[in-house]
Amino acid sequence: MGIAPARDVARCSFQSIPLYSRSPKSMKKIVLCIVGPTGSGKTALALLLAKSLGGEIISADSRQVYKHLDIGTAKPTKAQRREVKHYFIDELEPDEIFNAGDFGRKGREMIDDIFQRRSVPIVVGGSGLYIQSLIDGFFQGPSADNEVRHRLYERLHAEGVEVLLSELRKIDPASAARMLPSNTRRIVRALEVYELTGVPLSELQKEKIQIHFTPLMIGLQWDRRVLYGRINRRVDVMLEDGLLNEVRKLTELGYSEETNSLQTVGYQEALSHLRGEISYDTMVELIKRNTRRFAKRQLTWFRREKRIRWFSIDDEQDFPSIAVKIVNMYRLPST
């Protein structure tokens, strides 16, 4: 899920941050990366920074890239996107395949284009694997082959995941050692890569990708109880804004719970409610609970990343002062 309702951004004063203009000689290939758990206000801060630095925003959210998934992913509003150029939003249909490897490759191309226009790339999102793929690079193997993948999924349903995992242990023990039986998509992908290339995925991933920029990673950290309160309120706002109608329209377009992009907190619970499996109140509580759990997993992921400079936040009014500090860090990244 995305973050920060638009109303959070409206309360932040862009005018409180000095505009930072740079000559071509002073341009450095520094990419700002704003990370943190869902509900932490990444969008609000990124918009402030983009207005100050003359930046363009790259969304590192694995679901905002899909069309029709607006309310449940907390996409930036159309007005915000008119103010600041955004990428990887509304680019794919919900049933199209898009993964961290795709994001890393295309995101680096976009960063190069932004630098050529003498703008500042600002990466914003809570998808840790997407950000890792972008700033460190890892090779994902060949593009998906629908025929091979379909056949492997048929085997998965007919033979069970343990059979496929056992097969993977024989051909790619290094990849298999990192997977649990619940990692069905990753197991299928590793088998698909081997069938298409004859080379284990673990070997292909050793290929070194050259990264031509330096990430300046900023993390937003709230008191856990305050963050959970923000998440709960945001779920209420999403439902008020029409999340259920959004999900109904998706089903009318022919998408179901089996669509990968809809296997997401908020959409799964709404689909269960619309099928009559759970009550409205149960749906609301499940979305809030599962979103809080998702935020906890995000925090666990990001806390392993030693390059992140964390900013503690007590109130949304802290965003402008934090943005000023980040602008100064961007000017002197070695400090």
Tens digit of each residue's pLDDT (9 = 90 or more) over 219-257: 999 999 999 999 999 999 999 999 999 999 999 999 998
User: What pLDDT score does 141 carry?
Assistant: 67
Q: What is the mean pLDDT of residues 81-95?
A: 96
| Structure token pair of residue 201 | 């995925």
User: What pLDDT score does 209 carry?
Assistant: 81
- pLDDT bin (cut points 50, 70, 90) of residue 125 is very high
User: What pLDDT score does 18 carry?
Assistant: 45
Contact call for residues 144 and 128 (beta carbons, < 8 A): no
User: What pLDDT score does 17 carry?
Assistant: 45
Contact call for residues 71 and 242 (beta carbons, < 8 A): yes
The DSSP code sequence of 104-124 is HHHHHHHHHHHHHTT-EEEEE
Question: Considering the chain, what is the average pLDDT of its residues?
Answer: 88
Q: What is the mean pLDDT of residues 64-77?
A: 96
Tens digit of each residue's pLDDT (9 = 90 or more) over 9-40: 434 443 444 444 443 334 569 999 999 999 99
Residue 199 has pLDDT above 70, yes or no: yes
Contact call for residues 224 and 298 (beta carbons, < 8 A): no
User: What pLDDT score does 332 carry?
Assistant: 79
16 contact partners, CB below 8 Å, separation of at least 6: 320, 324
206 or 25, greater pLDDT: 206
| Structure token pair of residue 263 | 């296997």
- Spatial strand order of the sheet with 120-124 comes to 86-87, 55-59, 120-124, 30-35, 214-222, 309-313
User: What pLDDT score does 79 carry?
Assistant: 95
Q: What is the mean pLDDT of residues 86-108?
A: 92
Q: What is the mean pLDDT of residues 301-320?
A: 92
Tens digit of each residue's pLDDT (9 = 90 or more) over 132-188: 889 988 665 676 777 888 899 999 999 999 999 999 999 999 999 989 898 899 999
Please calculate the CA angle 123-107-199 and round it to the nearest 5 degrees.
130
- Cβ neighbours, 10 Å, residue 207: 10
User: What pLDDT score does 16 carry?
Assistant: 41
Residue 207 has pLDDT above 80, yes or no: no
Contact call for residues 43 and 89 (beta carbons, < 8 A): no
Q: What is the pTM of this model?
A: 0.77
User: What pLDDT score does 8 carry?
Assistant: 45
Q: How far apart are CA 98 and CA 62, in angstroms?
A: 8
Q: How far apart are CA 241 and CA 8, in angstroms?
A: 15
User: What pLDDT score does 334 carry?
Assistant: 55
